[in-house]
Amino acid sequence: MYAIVGGGLAGFTTYATLRHAGIEAGEIAVFDNDPDPVACWRPRVAAIRQTEMRSESDGHCSARSFPGLAVREARRRRTVGPLLRSVCDRYRPSVAEFLDHVEELRARTSWDASFQPFEISRVAAVPGGFELDGRGVFQHVVLATGHPGLALPHGVLGDRRAVHAYEPHDYTGSVAIVGAGMAAATEWRNALASGANVVSIRRREPLRRPLNVERQFFAKRGLRMFHGAEPNWRAELLTSFSAPSYPPGRAWDEPIERATAEGRFRVASDWRETEQVICATGFKRGYREDQLLRRLVDDHGLDTVERWVVLEPDAGVGRLCDASRTLAIAGVAAQWAYPAADTLAGMKYVARRFLARSRRCRTR
Ligand SMILES: Cc1cc2nc3c(=O)[nH]c(=O)nc-3n(C[C@H](O)[C@H](O)[C@H](O)COP(=O)(O)OP(=O)(O)OC[C@H]3O[C@@H](n4cnc5c(N)ncnc54)[C@H](O)[C@@H]3O)c2cc1C
């Protein structure tokens, strides 16, 4: 039996991969509170008014990379436009296209038949598998619990003007936006477009790069280098990927330049004067912020480096996998295996390797 703890996009992508490989819905249990795989993601995207995916055509949840969302849209709209843009790496699926794909795949894979409404608080290694909170023993388990909550700067706690960027909000006439990454840059544009005056509160200047994680670490060669490197260097590299950044380009710069000239955008060090404070400060970080992962590490004495659980290159928890059982981590907590683990590409990477590893167990 397989278990997936966490039914967000990483759990869902793993599920689609297992089902595609011929594993029956009855052989998989998915644990979460909400059966909707986009229950966490959808409101965050809506809050920052994101209309296009950050990922490209292959940023979807199906087991195979091809056909991707460009082909899907081309078929639906009977036009080759999405395919041509995809060939030039200029295709970004719309969020609506992606959500339709999730809905379709959810029905096609019988996801709801495997779903069990339950939050798992403990994973215990037992002979031949893992005991999950009295829900049974499962031979192969993937933990896909997502980000462990929203991060808020200390200074705003209890401040009624404050809202996190990933929570629903409108804009008042004067807005402070804390942070300098992709969500902050999106919020500068949103708030300016609504007519607000914007104060950007930042600790350091954002980097301008197309992706947080360098492209080489999505490919085999870069990953081999990453996996072979010394642990402290790996931790340093992962830390550098979380520095605030957003993509270069006129679409980001023009609204800021215009608003700066009009006196509607400025950088400042505090938000005392503004009516609203939007915290584009991302998520809490590290396995210790996630109760399930913290317990797993403490109960089983797992190796960690700084905020990361040490994983094998296939995202397996080495110390707890053996010839009879598999335990893997997917989503952001799998960065030790795949630096871009919190992307749909990373979710596929882990899902395929989890399947392969579990298969090797079966035949040993
Ligand atoms: C605004 C935004 C836009 C993004 N856009 C893109 C994009 O365009 N392309 C891309 O590739 N990536 C994108 N990402 C990154 C990534 O795809 C998302 O962060 C995605 O939601 C991560 O999926 P997940 O399953 O790891 O986490 P989540 O979607 O947060 O799901 C985790 C699930 O685990 C459940 N859970 C937690 N603990 C337990 C427990 N103990 N027991 C049972 N269930 C539990 C939670 O209830 C939740 O449902 C975006 C992220 C954000 C925030």
Is residue 221 situated within a structural domain? no
Measure the CA angle with vertex 28, ends 303 and 288; round to 5°. 25
Do 189 and 318 sit in the same domain of this protein? no
Asked if residues 189 and 175 have their Cβ atoms less than 8 Å apart, the reply is: no
- Cα–Cα distance between 327 and 333 in angstroms, integer? 13
Q: 156 CA to middle of ligand 1, Å?
A: 25
| CA of 347, closest atom in ligand 1 | 26
Do 191 and 296 sit in the same domain of this protein? no
Identify the domain boundary among 259, 279, 299: 279
Q: Work out the average pLDDT over 123-135.
A: 96
Give 11-39 pLDDT, tens digit per residue. 999 999 999 999 999 999 999 999 999 99
Is residue 233 situated within a structural domain? no
How confident is residue 362, by pLDDT bands cut at 50, 70 and 90?
A: low
DSSP assignments along 82-124, one per residue: HHHHHHTT----BHHHHHHHHHHHHHHTTHHHHEEE-----EE
For residue 181, give both structure tokens.
Answer: 């990454």
Q: Is the CB of 335 under 6 A from ligand 1?
A: no
Q: Number of structural domains, the chain? A: 2
Report, in angstroms and rounded to the nearest whole number, the Rg of the chain calculated over CA atoms: 21
Which CATH number is 261's domain given?
3.50.50.60
Asked if residues 311 and 336 have their Cβ atoms less than 8 Å apart, the reply is: yes
- Cα–Cα distance between 269 and 297 in angstroms, integer? 39
Name the average pLDDT for the chain: 95
How confident is residue 272, by pLDDT bands cut at 50, 70 and 90?
A: confident
Is residue 220 situated within a structural domain? no
Give 42-57 pLDDT, tens digit per residue. 999 999 999 999 888 8
Rounded percentage of the chain residues whose pLDDT exceeds 70: 99
Do 202 and 271 sit in the same domain of this protein? yes
Is residue 235 situated within a structural domain? no
For residue 324, give both structure tokens.
Answer: 């009879």
Q: Which long-range contacts (CB under 8 A, 24 or more apart) does 169-174 make?
A: 169/47, 169/276, 169/278, 170/194, 171/195, 171/196, 171/276, 172/196, 172/275, 172/276, 173/197, 173/275, 174/199, 174/273, 174/274, 174/275, 174/276
Do 190 and 64 sit in the same domain of this protein? no
Do 113 and 19 sit in the same domain of this protein? yes
Is residue 222 situated within a structural domain? no
Is residue 130 situated within a structural domain? yes
Is residue 215 situated within a structural domain? no
Do 10 and 145 sit in the same domain of this protein? yes
Do 181 and 273 sit in the same domain of this protein? yes
Q: 84 CA to middle of ligand 1, Å?
A: 30
Please say if the pLDDT value at position 147 is more than 60. yes
Is residue 219 situated within a structural domain? no
Do 137 and 169 sit in the same domain of this protein? no
Boundaries of domain holding 260: 154-206+244-279
Q: Is the CB of 334 under 6 A from ligand 1?
A: no
- Cα–Cα distance between 116 and 122 in angstroms, integer? 16
Do 256 and 314 sit in the same domain of this protein? no
Do 327 and 191 sit in the same domain of this protein? no
For residue 347, give both structure tokens.
Answer: 């979710």
Identify the domain boundary among 253, 279, 305: 279
Alpha-carbon separation of residue 205 from 3, 16, 239 (angstroms): 43, 40, 16
Alpha helices in 115-230 (DSSP H): 182-193, 220-228
- Cα–Cα distance between 84 and 235 in angstroms, integer? 38
Give 79-128 pLDDT, tens digit per residue. 999 999 998 878 999 999 999 999 999 999 999 999 999 999 999 999 99
Do 273 and 296 sit in the same domain of this protein? no
Asked if residues 200 and 268 have their Cβ atoms less than 8 Å apart, the reply is: yes
Atom 53 of ligand 1, residue of closest alpha carbon: 44
Q: Is the CB of 146 under 6 A from ligand 1?
A: yes
Identify the domain boundary among 252, 279, 306: 279
Pocket test for ligand 1, best of 12, 31, 33, 41 (most atoms within 8 A of CB): 41
How confident is residue 364, by pLDDT bands cut at 50, 70 and 90?
A: very low
Do 289 and 191 sit in the same domain of this protein? no
